[in-house]
Amino acid sequence: MTTDGSKTPVRVTEDVVVAPRPVASNEPAVADEAGAAGDGRDVPMSTHGLSCYFGSHHVVEEVSLEFPANSVTALIGPSGCGKSTLIRALNRMHEVVPGASTTGEVRLHGADIYERGADPVAVRQAIGMVFQRPNPFPTKSIAENVLSGPRFLRMKLRRGERDDLVERTLRGAGLWNEVKDRLGAPAGGLSGGQQQRLCIARALSVEPDVLLMDEPCSALDPQSTSRIEDLIAELRSRLTIVIVTHNMQQAARVSDHTAFLTIENEGEPGRLVEFGATNAIFSAPKNSRTEAYISGRFG
């Protein structure tokens, strides 16, 4: 981790060809636009010079970001820029892949999730995740899928509490009315969109502080997608959400803040280019790379 003392979170440059490393500071980039006041906000999670590697391959370099509470932060960027790797590093799922490693910090309520003594199991309970492909446990029933999180935590639940939790969580994921008559049916029988909402419910069942969503709609049809987007809008009031998306319209629709990552040249790691309020990024990007990506000129 370097400390170069730079206080400028995002360096604005017009130089498209040789853009310098835009954010290489330990001070997290702060969405400094109206609506997200700079100081004194509740910021449950932030990254500080987070770099990710696969073996010796450097995938993400020195990303520093803040994820404000009760808001949705979208990570966008061209394929291969490392946004999926970055989001997996936020709850230590990155290290599950052989050879994967990270440097830098990810702070959750001030504590570094990578510090010695921090257990990945505890980290993942506090920071939930939804994957690209819906991955319910296919042999378990719908209710059992929802309850699998609390079971891992060995919460003592009486039958009534259990039913209550299932209903509450499934309602929260907007799935209750569709499945309330077949809670005992195997989850494998649900449609793709329903499976994904079940996965969201499963992640919500342990009341995480932060929910990470890695392209949650990329395997779904448009209708299921808009259903999930509605759900994200509802969840925002009670959660901090980070979402990776390929779809810029989706980022514009669902997110409050947007971070744009890219790779300058083949073989280089992905870097953070610009971070700000979504409407500002989409209407008046400060960086020409961002503008080029958003207007569809590259990526």
Partner 1 sequence: MARSDGAAGVATPPGVATPLRSRLRRPFGSRLADTVYLTLAGASAAAAIALVAYLIFSTARETSPVWETFGVWGFLTGREWVISPPTGGPRLGALPFIYGTLATSAIAMAIALPLSVGIALATTVFLPRPLRRAVAGVIDVLAAVPSVVFGFWAVVVLVPWANPGLEWIAEHNLRFLAFLTAVLLLATLLSVGPLLRPLLALTVAGLVLVMFLILTGALHAPVGLLEGPVLSGSYMLAGIVLAVMILPITTAIIREVFATVPTDQQEAALALGATRWEMVQHSMIPWSRSGIVGASALGLGRAMGETIALALVLGSVPNVFGSLLGPGATAAGVIALQTGEAGQLQLAALTALAIVLFVMTMIINGLARILVRRNAGTSRRRRSAAPTDPDAEAAARADGAAETAPAPALVREGAGSLAPVAGIRRLRSGVSETLIAAAVLIGMLPLAVLLVEVVRNGTRVLGASFFTEVQPTDPNAVAGFGIGNALVGTAILTGVAVAIAAPLGILTSLCINELNGMGGWPRRVGDAIGYFVDVMLGMPSIVAGLAAYLAIVIRAQQFSAFAGGLALAIVMFPIVVRAADEVLRLVPGQQREAALALGAPRWRTAWSVMLPAALPGIITGTMLALARAAGETAPLLFTSLGNQFYSTDLFEPIAALPLLIFKFTIDVRTDQSVDFAWGATLVLIAFILLLNLMARLTARLIQGGRRG
Residues 99-128 that bind partner 1 (CB under 8 A): 108-109, 111, 113, 115, 117-126, 128
Rg (CA), the chain: 19
Residue type, 242: V
Residues in 221-260 at the binding interface with partner 1, rule: CB under 8 A: 221, 223-224, 227, 234-235, 237-238
**48 contacts partner 1 (rule: CB under 8 A):** no
Q: Which of 71, 91, 245, 262 binds partner 1 (CB under 8 A)?
A: 91
In the complex, minimum distance from the CB of residue 266 to partner 1, in angstroms, rounded to a whole number:
23
Angle at 5 (CA atoms; ends 289, 116), nearest 5 degrees = 95
Task: Name which of 3 and 223 has its Cβ closer to partner 1.
Answer: 223
Q: Which of 16, 152, 283, 295 binds partner 1 (CB under 8 A)?
A: 152
Residue type, 209: D
In the complex, minimum distance from the CB of residue 277 to partner 1, in angstroms, rounded to a whole number:
24
Task: Name which of 29 and 75 has its Cβ closer to partner 1.
Answer: 75
Task: Name which of 9 and 128 has its Cβ closer to partner 1.
Answer: 128
**54 contacts partner 1 (rule: CB under 8 A):** no
Q: Which residue in this structure is represented by tokens 């730079």?
A: 6
Chain centroid to Cα 257, Å, comes to 12
Task: Name which of 17 and 96 has its Cβ closer to partner 1.
Answer: 96
Whole-number Å distance between alpha carbons of 195 and 200? 9
Task: Name which of 214 and 274 has its Cβ closer to partner 1.
Answer: 214
In the complex, minimum distance from the CB of residue 196 to partner 1, in angstroms, rounded to a whole number:
9
Strand partners, 241: 72, 211
Q: Could you tell me where the DSSP H helices lie in 53-113?
A: 83-89
Angle at 180 (CA atoms; ends 70, 125), nearest 5 degrees = 40
Angle at 127 (CA atoms; ends 60, 170), nearest 5 degrees = 130
Chain centroid to Cα 245, Å, comes to 9
**148 contacts partner 1 (rule: CB under 8 A):** yes
Q: Which two tokens stand for residue 212?
A: 């990470």
The contact pattern for partner 1, residues 155-184, with x = CB under 8 A and - = no contact, is x---------x--x--xx-xxxxx------
Task: Name which of 226 and 288 has its Cβ closer to partner 1.
Answer: 226
The contact pattern for partner 1, residues 188-207, with x = CB under 8 A and - = no contact, is xx-xxxxx---x--xx-xxx
In the complex, minimum distance from the CB of residue 31 to partner 1, in angstroms, rounded to a whole number:
23
* 264 three-state secondary structure: coil
Q: Which of 5, 17, 38, 154 binds partner 1 (CB under 8 A)?
A: 154
**219 contacts partner 1 (rule: CB under 8 A):** yes
> Which is it for strands 57-67 and 240-244: parallel, antiparallel or unpaired?
unpaired
**Which residues have CB under 8 Å from 29's CB, separation 6+?**
9, 10, 23, 64, 65, 66, 259, 272, 275
**285 contacts partner 1 (rule: CB under 8 A):** no
